[in-house]
Amino acid sequence: MTTEHSSTPTVRIAGLSHFFGTGDNRQQVLSDVTVDIHPGEIVMLTGPSGAGKTTLLTLIGALRSLQEGSLSVLDRDYSTLGRTGLMQARRQIGFIFQAHNLFSSLTAFQNVRMALELHDCSPQEMANRIQALLTRLGLGDRMTHKPEALSGGQKQRVAVARALANRPRLILADEPTAALDETSATNVIGLLREMAHDDGATVIMVTHDDRMMTHADRVIHMIDGRIATDERPNGAAT
Amino acid sequence: MLRRTPLAWLDLLHHRRRFAMSVTGVAFAVFLIFVEVGFLNGVYDSQTDLVSHFNAELIIVNRLKEDVRPLIPFSRGIAIQALAVDGVADVYPVYADSGRWKNLDERVSHFALTLGFNPSHPVLDLPELARHQHDLQLPETTLFDRESRPFFGTVKLGQLAEFERKRIVPIATFSLGPDFRTDGMLLMSDTNFLRYFPNPVSGEIEPDRIEFGLVRLAPGYSAADLRTRLTEALPDDVSVLTKPELMQRVRGYWKRSKSVGMVFGIGAAVGFTIGVIICYQILFTDISDNFPQYATLSAMGYSGTFLMKVVLQKALLLSLFGFIPGLLLSGSLYSALQRWTGIRMWMTPDRVGTVLLMSVGMCVIAGMLALFKVLKADPAELY
């Protein structure tokens, strides 16, 4: 196993705090979070609801603007980025949401293609990549199906394919396997492991799924907006 | 294969029922606009149709005359005076009056607008007039407008009829059509005209009161230049107008004094507003349904501009697809109305173009209102 801790961290967080609301309703959701996450790591983010996991994920994903502290992702310092900068930063990240959020009017193939069209990619290359990816996820015979003709698990796998199609160097996932049966879940986590361990991508996943825990390189447990524990269960080098 | 997935198009097609209903809604709004625009232009076109058929570059009318009716004659002598002006090739004096034509089926009389002129003058560009100019020289002959309203009864060519309590023989028909003031029309020689319309008090023939003086230009002269010189040369009680100017004056009269522009303009605005509302409803529902998907696109790194384009493309597609059935429906209504009422309902390319622009504008405005919603698609809400 290669752990390139000598390289620049994918995510570098220092003194990160975040608040919701204003005035008397102001609530602190993240307090002074400091953590580095490295290429090739699969990180599970755990903790009770309201612990700030999702907020942390959206901040790393450039879906929210920064309030306090510093946050650098894939060599971009978010504190210096405006709307357009954040939008460009998001293009380097693969997002997997709890809901599949597929366009009901587009086929599985077209839904995945939407992600590729943001990047310089010839139609032929797009087709090859989508085909390979969907086949890998067991959807080779479902490419021209629209979401209404797919099962819940199949739709979720299409959404995974859409997130991974650009070969992002950072993948942010929120309960990606909740809707999946055993085989599909194994399939998806296998693909994520491949991308992390072979291509050096970083995976950050909010999950309560115990099946996933065994695949984690690192488990960060959050309570009340703070990092409570940060462990490497498989004895990976620090 | 396309570089870009045509999202707007596929989205519209996917929801077939909704698409069909949307297209129907937009078509309905387009139809409303067409009807109002059609009536408005129908008034103008009907009132100016006679003038547009005059064979003349310049037309002399009484200074006070603003429409074909009421009749406001001026002195024939003035028209003769115009002949002396350099650049005038000919002047055709045209008499006009309203006379009672007897419906022989029902024995009731109705008023018909009657024009009298020298039949050797090609006063109107009607082929029947040229064909029958010699026959019209005969006493008690006339050409009858076959588009006249049905209450004039059956008109049998070559058979004796009654006009102004005198004998008359319709020898042929022509096609012009009624307007909002005229139900039927006759054309006859000036000689015949003066016999049917003597001075009502004295009963004498009175050849000096004409309604129009049609001026033909000599080759090489400009209408604008001659118009200025004629205006200077002739007394102040007449106006010298080019044909388009006279038509414009009639339009202006109907616009101002009859408020038709206002009435039908408001109608068209109501149609437009209904279109905006329908279109907005459709686009808003569509955005609401796809809200998480749009937010996902935004999370993936698609710009707000891209989302706006998708919405505006949908708006544009709706307007074009709604326009086509709206146009076809309006086209059939136009020809039916023209057949039943005689109002000129002309579907000209520039009017089709104007309404097309309005229907695009309608949907684009709705699209822009709906944009406020799509721009609220916040990807941070997705987790």
- Interface probe, candidates A105, A170, A206, chain B, greatest B C-beta count within 10 A: A105
A123 contacts B3? CB cut-off 8 A: yes
Q: What does the pLDDT read at residue B211?
A: 97
Contacts of A161 (CB under 8 A, 6+ apart): A108, A112, A130, A133, A134, A137, A139
What angle is formed at CA B216 by the lines to CA B215 and CA B222, rounded to 5 degrees?
100
> Contact B147/B178 with Cβ under 8 angstroms?
yes
CB A99 within 8 A of CB A75: no
Is B296 close to A101, i.e. CB distance below 8 A?
yes
Q: Which residues of B fall within a CB distance of 8 Å from A146?
A: 14
CB A199 within 8 A of CB A167: yes
Q: DSSP letters of chain A?
A: ----TTSPPSEEEEEEEEEESSGGG-EEEEEEEEEEE-TT-EEEEE--TTSSHHHHHHHHTTSS---EEEEEETTEEGGG--HHHHHHHHTTEEEE-SS----TTS-HHHHHHHHHTTSS--HHHHHHHHHHHHHHTT-TT-TT--GGGS-HHHHHHHHHHHHHTT--SEEEEESTTTT--HHHHHHHHHHHHHHHHTT--EEEEE---HHHHTT-SEEEEEETTEEEEEE-TT----
Residue A234 has pLDDT above 70, yes or no: no
pLDDT digits (tens, 9 = 90+) for A158-206: 999 999 999 999 999 998 888 788 888 888 999 999 999 998 999 999 9
pLDDT tens-digit series, residues A38-51 = 999 999 999 998 89
- Is the Cβ–Cβ distance between A72 and A10 less than 8 Å? no
CA distance A103 to A110: 9
Asked if the Cβ–Cβ distance from B302 to A118 is below 8 Å, we say yes
How far is the C-alpha of B14 from the C-alpha of A15, rounded, in Å? 48
Three-state DSSP state, B242:
strand
A112 burial level (CB within 10 Å; 0-12, 13-18, 19+): buried
User: How large is the average pLDDT for residues A10-16?
Assistant: 95
**pLDDT greater than 70 at residue B328:** yes
- B296 and A97 within 8 Å at the Cβ level: the answer is yes
pLDDT tens digits, one per residue of B230-276:
999 999 999 999 999 999 999 999 988 888 888 898 999 999 999 99
Q: Which of the pair, A170 or B204, is modelled with greater confidence?
A: A170
Give residue B185's pLDDT band: very low, low, confident or very high (50, 70, 90): very high
Q: Inter-axis angle of helices B304-341 and B7-14, to 10 degrees?
A: 60
Q: Give CA A165 to chain center in angstroms.
A: 13
Q: Please give the average per-residue pLDDT across B197-211, as a whole number.
A: 89
Q: What is the β-pairing status of strands A170-174 and A202-206?
A: parallel
State pLDDT tens for residues B116-135. Answer: 999 999 999 999 999 999 99
**Pick from A54, A124, A127: CB nearest B383:** A54
C-alpha closest to that of A217 among A199, A192, A235: A235
Q: What is the amino acid identity at position A210?
A: D
**In angstroms, what is the C-alpha Rg of chain A?**
18
Strand pairing category for B88-103 and B74-75? unpaired
Pinpoint the alpha helices (H) of B72-222: 76-82, 127-131, 190-196
State both tokens at B300. Answer: 């993936």
Within an 8 Å CB–CB cutoff, is residue A58 touching chain B? yes
Q: Is B380 close to A63, i.e. CB distance below 8 A?
A: yes
Rounded Cα–Cα distance for residues B31 and B337 (Å): 14
Number of H helices, E strands in chain B: 11, 11
Distance from C-alpha of A222 to C-alpha of A45, rounded to nearest angstrom: 7
Q: Which of A101-105, A234-238, B205-209 has the lowest mean pLDDT?
A: A234-238
Contacts of residue A117 in chain B, CB cutoff 8 Å?
3-5
The confidence score (pLDDT) of residue A2 equals 45
At residue B30, the 3 state secondary structure works out as helix
| B244 Ramachandran zone, left/alpha/beta (phi>0; psi -120 to 50) | alpha
Question: Exposed (0-12), middle (13-18) or buried (19+): which is B75, by Cβ within 10 Å?
Answer: middle
What does the pLDDT read at residue A6?
52
**Residue A238: which pLDDT band, with cuts at 50, 70 and 90?**
very low
Nearest to B216 by CA among B85, B314, B95, B305: B85
Separation of alpha carbons B96 and B98, rounded Å = 7
- What average pLDDT does chain B have? 93
DSSP 8-state symbol, B218:
P
Substitution target from A53, A98, A101 for chain B, most B beta carbons within 10 A: A101
Instruction: Suggest the residue from A65, A114, A122, A128 to mutate for an interface test with chain B (most B CBs closer than 10 A).
Output: A114
Across A1-10, A137-146, B227-236, least confident range: A1-10
| pLDDT band with cut points at 50, 70 and 90 for residue A237 | very low
DSSP per-residue codes, B250-291: HHHHHHHHS-HHHHHHHHHHHHHHHHHHHHHHHHHHHHHHTH
- Predicted local distance difference test score (pLDDT) of residue B266: 93
Cα angle B187, B43, B61; round to 5: 50
Residue B382 is encoded by which pair of tokens? Answer: 């997705």
Estimate to the nearest angstrom the gap between the alpha carbon of A92 and the chain centroid: 11
Position B31: which residue type?
Answer: F
Give residue for tokens 């994903």.
Answer: A61
The residue among B375, B336, B302 whose CA lies nearest residue B5 is B302
If one compares B187 and B304, the residue with the highest pLDDT of the two is B187
Q: For chain B, first and last CA: distance in Å? A: 34
Percent pLDDT > 70 in chain A is 95
Structure tokens at B238: 């007449």
- Among B29, B40, B33, which Cα is nearest to B343's? B40
Q: Give B7-31 pLDDT, tens digit per residue.
A: 999 999 999 999 999 999 999 999 9
Residue-wise pLDDT tens digits, B76-103: 999 999 999 999 999 999 999 999 999 9
pLDDT digits (tens, 9 = 90+) for A20-40: 988 888 999 999 999 999 999
Instruction: Band the pLDDT of B176: cuts 50, 70, 90.
Output: very high
- pLDDT, position A235: 56
Residue with the bigger pLDDT between B321 and B206: it is B321
Residues in a beta bridge with A77 = A72
Looking at chain A, the whole-number percentage of residues with pLDDT higher than 90 is: 74
d(CA B345, CA B324): 18
Task: Name A121's Cβ contacts closer than 8 Å, sequence gap at least 6.
Answer: A129
Tell me which chain A residues have a C-beta less than 8 angstroms from the C-beta of B299: 61, 63, 90, 95, 97
Which is nearest to A139 in space by CA: A122, A154, A119?
A154
- Largest pairwise CA distance in chain B: 99
